[in-house]
Amino acid sequence: PSSSTPSGGTVRVPLGSLDAMQRTGFVALAAVASLVVSADAVGLLRSRSRQEPDTACGKGFDSLVKGSQDYYRTAAVELWTHPSHVSDNATFEAEFECWFASMCTTKCGGLPSQADSRKKELTDTCRNVQIDWLKVWNMFSQEEIKWFKKNYPSNEVQDEGEDTVHYKQAMETAKEVNKKELLCLTLFTIDDECVKWPHIRMG
């Protein structure tokens, strides 16, 4: 067998060498095809990842009915009264709206309202700027504590021994900075049946 050169002449190629060249070419083509498939697979995974919705905020605040959105607006005014936190409902608006939307979407995990037994105390506690978050936390039932810990979207995701990192760090920051207000919002939302009124119902 012969093969053309760039100058137009011919050169004889031993049969064994030709077979080796064909095998090498086949392997190279197979490798290229494999890389193309792998790249396509990675691209597909990335595309799917981008398309998968973030369900941490339920259906999202903007998807809530107007009455539920109005409820949150009144709660954000009534519950954020501490002089140091009065503007935090705006600073962390996206985070608090996210949690509220999650509660509404999941109907607060089916937790029953306890308005009849605690609404007055809850109202007094949440309005009193001298009382800290711990008293509100002590008003949670065991079922509510389990549900809150499981569903509030700020789970730790770091390996042991590393600095603490959370799935949604901004959600964790909002919780730590405004813990009392967040807990009050949670219990009022549950007690107002998650939610059936266009405004927060104070006791």
DSSP string, 165-192: -BTTHHHHHHHHHTHHHHHHHHHHHHHT
Bridge partners, residue 10, by sequence: 4
Beta-carbon contacts of 64 under 8 Å, excluding residues fewer than 6 positions away, are 72, 101, 104
Angle in degrees, 0-180, between the axes of helices 93-105 and 179-191, rounded to the nearest 10: 30
Q: Which residues of the chain have pLDDT under 50?
A: 2-11, 13-18, 20-21, 24, 26-52, 166
pLDDT at residue 3, as a whole number: 39
Exposure string of 100-119, with b = 16+ CB inside 10 Å and e = fewer, is bbbbbbbebeebebbbeebb
pLDDT at residue 155, as a whole number: 66
pLDDT at residue 35, as a whole number: 38
**What would the pLDDT profile of 154-181 be if each residue is shown by its tens digit?**
866 555 555 555 458 899 999 999 999 9
Query: What are phi and psi for residue 2, nearest 5 degrees?
Result: -125, 160
pLDDT at residue 164, as a whole number: 53
Residue owning tokens 């790249």: 39
pLDDT at residue 7, as a whole number: 38
pLDDT at residue 18, as a whole number: 41
The model's pTM is 0.71
